[in-house]
Structure 1
């Protein structure tokens, strides 16, 4: 009989293995020595050890499914329970039990992970739906359209939820995209209609602009071109393929008109500059008449200068006030000299002035007497009132006396 710590072979060739529940028959060996029998079944044990070790590694390091892992464990457990090996079978059972616990733990972890992933996917898809519904109301057509396409790609990369939840969220997401597409289509259809209307309007404006390009009615035509430009800006943009050509025609017609006007105005400006020079010379001659000493001669000289002035054409508008003001100053000096002469030689006016002066002098003298009388009587209030009245009469008297002096006496 042969034995080792985990098994033995009796005299009949029966091989036993020792377990916690006592010895179990492993098998019968008749072909060789007992040592060879134990060695054979020990090798079978080592084979089980290797298989269990490999399975432990697969469970710990790969994504082996729980179902496949438990099937493999059960297969190994059947081999261990069959007692066809010599070794510490109880230790192998304990390793298999721990391996089952590990598989169960990994299964729960994966279940929790899948739940978290599903929850994350739900939140991610809900966020995509909310953003899509916001974009559906946007008028930023290009940016919103590109963003919606990116959201679709993001959606495709997310895990599916349960069918009901996934379908509900996808319905909202798809509806938002459809609503945006519908609004964008309506917008561009309306924009096309507006651009077509703008094209028709601008073609009319171009036709009128071209019809005015050869006009020589400078002021009204320039004003009309300004109105046409205002209408052009208000019309909006036409289609891209028409806008540039219409603008070139519109601008070209204006350029023809304004170039012709500029040429004419340049000639006019040169003529007016020469006129200004002549009028400045005449103004200088007129200013030499001042101060007026010989009214008759000055009047005749100014009349001759004014006739020459009127024969000269227009001067530049910005220079007109200054040069005309110089002539007007001489003319006012002549008028003032004439008025002074008239007053000095008018006997009726002199008589009226003298009469008025006499009346005022009498009124002043009378007031002075009343003031003295009031003060003598001690009536101060009356005296002060009369003095104020006297001040007014005295001022009128002084003015009348000055006027009387202009008549020579």
Structure 2
């Protein structure tokens, strides 16, 4: 702008008074002194008009950047700063026009910020919803990675309205922290569990190594077998390498002892062995007597408990040999089976109680006999199905495992049928023993005749 133009511009918006340069009042701004006349009034006016041109260029440059930028919100503070300078900047010019331009830019920026904040709110609500859906997940690794990704995206997403900011920040933080607290507690518990598991295995190894040189072969054998059972019950999820190392130490101690036991047995005379076997056989015979007596108990729950105790005692007796041993075992097994079958029968009868008018001891016994007959019928149907499947198997090696399994099931069902049949005989004998003598003095009513007919079925 030429000097004359600057002078005209300066006189339009300013004046000189008492050797001072003043800016005229505009908008809500009163007139104010912007400088002093150094030598010549016109030159001083031109100087302050030039200063205004520089300020205007700064404003126009900022507005141009705002128009070109996608992130307009970053310019808001600069616009506000320039608007604030309008009331302080020492220059002569159309500050009102600059104020209007800056106000328009401010409004445009605030509108863009509002739109972006609405968009940011929608984005953050979507992230909150996903985080809250994942907070109870137990798929730890992928969920943790996704929540970390959401947390980074949350940071990168711009702000929302201040009135909503604290609420949505708290919701997102709570959901994410809830998952990571659960994850932390889970792995702390898992680590503690692994340590407890490791301690249990080490204790079993120490006990095994302390027993491997024992001379009490019979007692130590039982103790080591118990330790083996305890080893199986420990469970846990140790790393494979650690688990293999612990098992190798445990097995080495047991192998060492049982190799010594093997050598000791080899050295033992046949007579001692026979005596040992005979004693075991006698013990098993006594267990058979006790098992066969259980069926006479009135409380079948008590009988079942004692049968299980006898089975546990049988396992501890030790081996016996000869055909008689097999016969004793067969008797013991059948006696226990009868107890368990009778217990199952009593459970079945409790679920199907007899009507009050048909609930005599004879009625109850007949009902149990009929139930056992029904059970036998079902067992025979199962056998027919199994035998049918067995007959369909082609004679190829791949079918041998399945063939053996079917044959075993058939044997088990046949044994069940034998047991139930013997129980029927047992109940019939008890019925005959408990039946009251016939009464002939009173004629039977119609209902009594029906009850007698039901009892005889």
TM-score (norm 2): 0.35
| TM-score in terms of structure 1 length | 0.39
